[in-house]
C-alpha cells in the first residue's frame, strides 16, 4: 500500500483516496505499461491452474489434503451453486465457467490481505466490468440458444401469465432490468466492495502509522493504537467479505443462466 505523497511530521494526517489505486507501471513492454494489478491478474491464472492441476493429478480413491481441498471447492461450486440454481438437467455444461469465475474472483480478492502484495485486483473497475460482460454474454448466449433470439427476448421481457395494456409498462422495465442493467450491477457490487474495503484498510493502517510515529499530539498514542486495532478488525472482516463477494458474483451468474434457459420467466 502506498500514498501519493511521502508522510512527514509536518504533512498532517494521511488522507488516502482513489489516487492511491492508480499504481505506477512496474515495467514496459514496448508502449504497453505493465502495472501491479495486471501482474497479479496474470499470476492468479497461473496459480489457479497450477494448484488444481496438482490437486487433480493423484486422482486417488482416498484423497490427500490438496486433492481433498480441490474436490471440496469444486463440489461447492458444482453442487451448491451450479446445480441448485441452474437445475440438475442443464447445470453440468456451465460448471467450468462458474468454477473459473469463483476461483478467479476469490484469488484476486484475497490479494488484498497478503503482506507485500496487499492489493485486491477487483478494486480496479475494469476487471469486474470484464467479468460482468463475459457473464452477460454467457447467459444471454445460453438463452438465445435455448429459445431462439426472438423467443429469448419474449422470455426475458414478458412475465408469464401477463397480458393486456400492463405489458406496455412491464416490457421496457423487464428489458432494462434483465438485459441492460445486470452487467452494471454485477460490476458495481464487486468493485465497490473491494474498493471500499481496501480504502478502509489504507485509512486505518496509515492513520496508525502517522499517529504512532509522526504525530506530537499527546493523544496520538491511544488514538494510534485504536486505529491499529480497527485495522486488524477490518482485516478479519475482509476475510469474510472477500469470500462472500466471490460467492455472490458466481451465485448471481448461475441464477441468470438458470433463468435464461428456463422454460418460463
Mean pLDDT per block of 10 residues along the chain (265 residues) reads: 43 71 82 88 94 85 84 94 91 95 96 90 93 96 94 87 80 90 94 94 88 81 91 94 96 95 78
Q: How many Cβ atoms sit within 10 Å of the Cβ of residue 20? A: 18
What pLDDT is recorded for position 254? 96
Q: Is residue 2 part of a domain?
A: no
Q: Is residue 167 part of a domain?
A: yes
What pLDDT is recorded for position 230? 94
**Total count of residues recorded for the chain:** 265
What pLDDT is recorded for position 43? 94
Q: Which of 193, 182, 179, 177 is nearest to 125 (CA)?
A: 193
Per the structure, the complete domain to which residue 196 belongs is given by 18-261
Which three cell numbers, joined as nine digits, stand for 215? 504525530
Q: Is residue 9 part of a domain?
A: no
Q: Which of 40, 5, 16 is nearest to 201 (CA)?
A: 16
What pLDDT is recorded for position 9? 43
pTM of the model: 0.88
What pLDDT is recorded for position 213? 85
Q: Is residue 6 part of a domain?
A: no
Coil, helix or strand at residue 34: strand
As for how many domains the chain has, the answer is: 1
Longest dimension (CA), the chain: 73
Q: Is residue 88 part of a domain?
A: yes
Q: Is residue 7 part of a domain?
A: no
Rounded Cα distance between 259 and 265, Å, is 7
Q: Is residue 23 part of a domain?
A: yes
Cβ neighbours of residue 80 under 8 Å, at least 6 residues apart?
Answer: none
What pLDDT is recorded for position 161? 73
What pLDDT is recorded for position 143? 94
What pLDDT is recorded for position 265? 58
Q: Is residue 179 part of a domain?
A: yes
Which three cell numbers, joined as nine digits, stand for 124? 480496479
What pLDDT is recorded for position 148? 94
Distances (CA, A) of 205 to 1, 15, 225: 9, 11, 10
Rounded Cα distance between 248 and 132, Å, is 12
Cβ neighbours of residue 208 under 8 Å, at least 6 residues apart?
Answer: 224, 225, 227, 228, 231
Amino acid at each position: 500500500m502506498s500514498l501519493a505523497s511521502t508522510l512527514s511530521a509536518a504533512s498532517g494526517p494521511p488522507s488516502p483516496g482513489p489516487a492511491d489505486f492508480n499504481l505506477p507501471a512496474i515495467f514496459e513492454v514496448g508502449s504497453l505499461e505493465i502495472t501491479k494489478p495486471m501482474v497479479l491478474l496474470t499470476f492468479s491464472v497461473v496459480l489457479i491452474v497450477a494448484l488444481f492441476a496438482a490437486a487433480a493429478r493423484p486422482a486417488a480413491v482416498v484423497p490427500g489434503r490438496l486433492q481433498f481441498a480441490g474436490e471440496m471447492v469444486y463440489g461447492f461450486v458444482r453442487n451448491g451453486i451450479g446445480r441448485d440454481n441452474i437445475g440438475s438437467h442443464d447445470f453440468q455444461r456451465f460448471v467450468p465457467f462458474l468454477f473459473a469465475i469463483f476461483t478467479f474472483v476469490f484469488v484476486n480478492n484475497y490479494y488484498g490481505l497478503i503482506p507485500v502484495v496487499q492489493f485486491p485486483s477487483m478494486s480496479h473497475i475494469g476487471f469486474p466490468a470484464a467479468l460482468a460482460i463475459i457473464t452477460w454474454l454467457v447467459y444471454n448466449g445460453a438463452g438465445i440458444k435455448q429459445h431462439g433470439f426472438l423467443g429469448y427476448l419474449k422470455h426475458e421481457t414478458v412475465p408469464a401469465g401477463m397480458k393486456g395494456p400492463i405489458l406496455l409498462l412491464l416490457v421496457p422495465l423487464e428489458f432494462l432490468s434483465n438485459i441492460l442493467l445486470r452487467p452494471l450491477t454485477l460490476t458495481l457490487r464487486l468493485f465497490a466492495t473491494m474498493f471500499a474495503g481496501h480504502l478502509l484498510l489504507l485509512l486505518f493502517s496509515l492513520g496508525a502509522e502517522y499517529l504512532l510515529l509522526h504525530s506530537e499530539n499527546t493523544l496520538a498514542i491511544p488514538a494510534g493504537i485504536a486505529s491499529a486495532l480497527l485495522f486488524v478488525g477490518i482485516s478479519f472482516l475482509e476475510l469474510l467479505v472477500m469470500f462472500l463477494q466471490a460467492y455472490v458474483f458466481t451465485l448471481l451468474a448461475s441464477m441468470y443462466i438458470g433463468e435464461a434457459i428456463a422454460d418460463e420467466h
